[in-house]
Structure 1
């Protein structure tokens, strides 16, 4: 693995750039959108975050474009950060439905477009955003090898894929897959509950591909957690009794540990032995700053505290 790929593989927390770039439509971005993106990037850097996660579809490409504007404003920044993007989803339009597209030509074209928007000549990491049932894995592998040989992408990973899908692709690649980005949080708990619901009536309702965490751990594939802050469900937007109880518990633990509820929420993920790296998706600088201790401090949760948060968020006892 190259030094650049190893650095990307080891980032503790990533900043997710989906919230940058203004509205979710093809309309052009404006100067305020660039200023807002710069403020968010500055907040992330202030917290010690140096890994930035993109996708070609975020805000119809505007998230990458405004980030490129920030890089242009800040000489030397590109050399100090890890830049990751994703491809494989095509947004729907008037003439076609939304779809997944991992054809070799599409992968190459989308990477080239991302590089142009980001104003850089290389991605540190490229993730395949979603599985495409029509994808030819040999053709996908050839496209990735070509991007690597050309120096356009340093390392590769996947997103929203299970163990069998990862192994199927890795068998055709000469370079290791270094990351798998999944929805993981104290709210979206299928990833952790899949391992304890076996041999229970609730097992059939859990859709997480069992064995994926174990496969990633065994093969050195870093787990990245999108949606890690649970869209604010435990830090201001709680609605259900379980969410209110969890918010109260998070606040109590945060006071006890001299930190913020957001940090404790991220610590819950990071405390898992799989070495999960949260992706922080908020565009609000103050909320980014609330995650600072997740970067700077080791997860400070006991075995009992970790389980108390899990059971409280579930709203029902473990089986």
Structure 2
């Protein structure tokens, strides 16, 4: 979709402007470091998670994605935790308060490779809108659980049939193993997922996450607040000065790699394939996790980067064009 295009629906007029990087346009820094906002980082503990918060997170899972505007007062503990995420990353930025906020939801299921996006805008108007910042707070789970894996550099524009395809590739893969109360954030445009192959053998423990994505100047279409029935007085314990995790850096080309399952994704799960993502140093990654190293950067050498391709056996008629 071109900058400033207007898309008309039967009853609505949908207008969005994206900047050169594909982000929703309009937010500006006020002394904040833009590069820092979008860089993958993790905190050893963002929340002092107790059983009450874990229970509240599990209780709203069936509600799906919900919205808390930057001007709305939180009404329950989960909304207060989501607001804390928004305030952490909105600090130093100028944005339209009415249309900015945090999209949040909770998950106990493992989710495959995907882009976070405005789902309705994609389905109804064919436009890819991604959050400015994506975050994961680990409410339940430990280093034996399946990690979050982010393919740094792969955005919707990396898809080969995207209208504004830019040919970008992933030169660094970021792996974050769960730890109760830990927090992980990354560029909201980037492809990511939960990879069971990297969990400890036989690990079937509970893995509960609070996902909170920061949006500036855009409210995802059709997402509303939690119902009043979830109102409570619970105050989550936010760690005032959380410790940042120092990433461990590995070079896959220097390590033994293990074949993983073929990595495909898309609207039906098979439209696109990640080339180069099936051979990762699983043994080294598990050793890092077992040694208590949660955040790991895999630096890919030239020629070993990861790209999105259309599988050769994927029928054209089955693909959904990435406009």
Using the size of structure 2 for normalisation, the TM-score is 0.30
Q: Which has the higher contact order (CA 8 A, sep 6+)?
A: 2
- Is the helix fraction higher in 1 or 2? 1
Q: TM-score, normalised by structure 1?
A: 0.30
